[in-house]
Structure 1
């Protein structure tokens, strides 16, 4: 490893300083440190880039509720992908099939029968951010009764042709369209729950097969996927879907599923189960997308207003923020290719990143902290994760720019103090250190900033429950 500018060696001084600043220098030299859990960073072992896992559901454009454009905030966390699902709850008459092609009995080959304009504007607001679009073909969730749009189409073949016209509009210029090269096309959403699909399992399998084959015939380079289920891939529908695609030779470029959980351990085990199920069915090279995910302490029954408020306040507050950083760190070492947090809506959804006035919630800063890690580019080896309780560490560096970062999180571990060791970097230069904290009282605020110089390569770090600490430093 090249250390001729001494950049990474200064990294060690950073952590000694943090220990001194915390008033823990004497403790760091005492026998008490032997009982503390440990983090380590080995900057001599690089691990390549980061996976694009901080995608989101929903774009920045809002026309229902506060009517703000949230693009400036989206830029702070730089989502690599934005999935188009439930968009009509923030910008009416967008994306859903019934909003684009409102009269199913009309001629699907006549451009006059399509209403693309609002969806055009919505998608452009995403592309202007530099994010890629994952277009969910289907309908938004419908809570309560009656349900209007989540029923199986009257004609599966025609529905697939309508979908192909939508692809042509956005990728091939049809109907005064564009050449935006949208790659990912996801067929329906959560056909395993009643609020999203009123049909049978077999009907969904048929709809997927017909649509996937139609789209791939239109353009073999498109990436078509599903089943976007709410539960694990080892569920009845998950297994049936994978078997059906294999038996009918239905195109399957990516497999998507969803996870909501109160436990980081449960969350990661479910990823392991679903990914193993995909590979078990012989899909060795298919991409895997966790197309919805979040922290939910439990699902309230909807009968108690205060209970619902308090549950979702945890989701978008400090507990959910620490959960988000921890699982983003863990997911780097899974078979996932991409993931989309649910949700980035800035309106009526209680688990969105913005409140009803358009003010960012605390959880947006968890994605921002992770994005700062990704921006440095090169991941380096770390140890000290504790999946059972949501303790995590991840680190990145750009030696050419003289910058390094370490991102720590404690979701729900009783330990609030940790020993941090940095390995394999000779010390030469001074270092400017900036520490940012995300907890009940901080929104990734700059907490302290100093110039560092030392030969001591370990320190004590305070990290209580529901806390995220981002350490950024640069050579002087």
Structure 2
């Protein structure tokens, strides 16, 4: 057991909300589906992200770029029917787009290379002049529809993972720099106040950030922020229906955050914001780890510490409405989402809601616990115990002595672990039904809730003692608040007269 006494009036920092600045999504065309919007509404109600990032803004299924042929001439037609419906839905739910420019419309593509089940084209434009006009038309339309003040709050990120040849033909760095330069200048010509950045790299390729920032500096190309992605998965093992990974210790991701911040500090633009526009354990949407309580306990430290190093980090993704590896074949299939199909929250969803309960004032933090104080003096604590292998310690215990501003205390505990708030386990107990009945879905929703317990205690000499015991892959939230006791207002109150009391 680890004993911690927190000194009175000793604040060690402010807990930033970088963890909820942005969240990822399946390709943006999926926002036309009813379940996508229902899941987003659910996530916004309980967490409330500020921005949403998705692939496929310029993909053919959104249909922005079209061409009309009259005689021997061809002219572009910019069709905003679907994107207006999508962005209207986002804004109505209190979330703004973190705009990712990509992939290439087929009629404007220089090649046929695509990625994913939905065939996002990853080749450069066949005509940069047409590409420039398309970008200007898109940005002008956004401003006309949503207003200059609103659109100036939307970050624009150019492309996705161009350092990987699966996402950018031949991973051609010079071609990406050309695409970035043409795109950012087109955006800035429409409105110079819109923030634009990149290069959105993933895995290795750290030199890309140095090269990208040096290119922008030497050529006078605007850049307002830097982006990259972070995953901790080791090489995959593929099966027909699932992909399995071993994972690096979570320090691996924390160190990536530190490294990219240091790269920017040592660049010609040392003060640029850094946004991790994707992160998770596995980078594959068929990896069962995403559905487990382990994923929640494993990533909790990232939410606790990530804001020390980067301006935001965006969980990939909010929902299992996602089709990169084909249409999902079962309700639990290893999808990235915080929320499974049928709005069934996964353990990682609850881990996010626990952090959403934190106060701003940090009283204590280590690699497995965060203790905060809210503005009203109440205390919020989140603790976790990821068990990555059988060789790891299976149980973790704390004894905390916490300064409080009140004597009579109400304690509320919410717990998720292998046996609580774990619908994936119940689904296995059911026999892993691919397409569960309505009754099975209702059962999964019922068990997907955290275990809640409450009690009342007293402080002594301005301190309260709290003992925490964390089992395998547990994440727990404690909320300590002042009791406003109104028992004396009930005339004739005598609980001893209640049968069974």
- Flag whether TM exceeds 0.5 (same fold): yes
1:354 paired with 2:367, answer no
- The residue that corresponds to 2:372 in the other structure is 396
Shift of residue 257 of structure 1? 0.2
Higher relative contact order (CA 8 A, sep 6+): 1
**Residues 457/147 of structure 1: CA separation in 2 closer, same or farther (3 Å cut):** closer
**Residues 426/368 of structure 1: CA separation in 2 closer, same or farther (3 Å cut):** closer
Shift of residue 135 of structure 1? 0.4
TM-score of the superposed pair, with normalisation by structure 2: 0.73
- The residue that corresponds to 2:218 in the other structure is 247
CA contact (8 A) 1:40 1:383 kept: no
Shift of residue 245 of structure 1? 1.2
Deviations 1:350-374 (A, max 9, x none): 212333444333322122212222x
- The residue that corresponds to 1:216 in the other structure is 188
- The residue that corresponds to 1:304 in the other structure is none
**Residues 346/43 of structure 1: CA separation in 2 closer, same or farther (3 Å cut):** farther
Shift of residue 122 of structure 1? 1.6
1:461 paired with 2:439, answer no
Shift of residue 246 of structure 1? 1.5
Worse overlay, 49-58 or 249-258: 49-58
CA contact (8 A) 2:401 2:464 kept: yes
SS in 2 for 1:172: helix
Instruction: Trace 1:349-388 onto structure 2 (pairs within 5 A).
Output: 349=323, 350-373=335-358, 376=359, 378-385=360-367
Counterpart selection for 1:69 from 35, 38, 56: 38
- The residue that corresponds to 1:78 in the other structure is 48
CA contact (8 A) 1:189 1:196 kept: yes
1:342 paired with 2:316, answer yes
SS in 1 for 2:319: coil
Distance across 1 between alignment mates of 2:481 and 2:75:
55
- The residue that corresponds to 2:244 in the other structure is none
Root mean square deviation of aligned Cα: 3.1
Instruction: Trace 1:119-130 onto structure 2 (pairs within 5 A).
Output: 119-130=83-94
Distance across 2 between alignment mates of 1:157 and 1:40:
64
Shift of residue 472 of structure 1? 1.2
- The residue that corresponds to 2:495 in the other structure is none
Deviations 1:253-308 (A, max 9, x none): 11000011132111111111222112211222111000000012x86xxxxxxxx8
CA contact (8 A) 1:410 1:465 kept: yes
Give the number of aligned pairs. Answer: 405
CA contact (8 A) 1:233 1:257 kept: no
- The residue that corresponds to 2:23 in the other structure is 56
Instruction: Trace 1:209-358 onto structure 2 (pairs within 5 A).
Output: 209-232=181-204, 234-235=206-207, 237-261=208-232, 262=247, 263-296=249-282, 312-334=287-309, 336-349=310-323, 350-358=335-343
Distance across 2 between alignment mates of 1:205 and 1:269:
27
SS in 1 for 2:302: helix
Worse overlay, 130-139 or 458-467: 458-467
SS in 2 for 1:472: strand
Worse overlay, 249-258 or 70-79: 70-79
Counterpart selection for 1:441 from 406, 410, 419: 419
Shift of residue 132 of structure 1? 2.8
Shift of residue 49 of structure 1? 4.9
**Residues 382/256 of structure 1: CA separation in 2 closer, same or farther (3 Å cut):** same
Shift of residue 325 of structure 1? 1.7
**Residues 198/318 of structure 1: CA separation in 2 closer, same or farther (3 Å cut):** same
Shift of residue 78 of structure 1? 1.0
Unmatched 5+ stretches in structure 2: 105-112, 233-246, 324-334, 422-448, 484-501
- Flag the structure with larger Rg: 2
CA contact (8 A) 2:395 2:469 kept: yes
CA contact (8 A) 1:51 1:337 kept: no
Distance across 2 between alignment mates of 1:43 and 1:123:
47
Worse overlay, 260-269 or 357-366: 357-366
Unmatched 5+ stretches in structure 1: 1-35, 300-307, 386-391
1:429 paired with 2:407, answer yes
Counterpart selection for 1:416 from 383, 391, 395: 395
Distance across 1 between alignment mates of 2:8 and 2:190:
48
1:451 paired with 2:419, answer no
Shift of residue 129 of structure 1? 2.6
Deviations 1:403-442 (A, max 9, x none): 321111122351623233335x366421111000121222
**Residues 275/68 of structure 1: CA separation in 2 closer, same or farther (3 Å cut):** closer
Distance across 2 between alignment mates of 1:337 and 1:151:
30
Shift of residue 206 of structure 1? 0.8
Shift of residue 145 of structure 1? 8.7
SS in 2 for 1:442: coil
Deviations 1:121-172 (A, max 9, x none): 2222222232232100112995469956211011224313311221111123
CA contact (8 A) 1:379 1:396 kept: yes
SS in 2 for 1:69: helix
Instruction: Trace 1:21-100 onto structure 2 (pairs within 5 A).
Output: 36-39=1-4, 41-42=6-7, 44-46=9-11, 47-54=13-20, 55-58=22-25, 62-63=31-32, 69-70=38-39, 71-85=41-55, 93-94=61-62, 99-100=63-64
SS in 2 for 1:394: strand
TM-score of the superposed pair, with normalisation by structure 1: 0.76
Shift of residue 457 of structure 1? 4.1
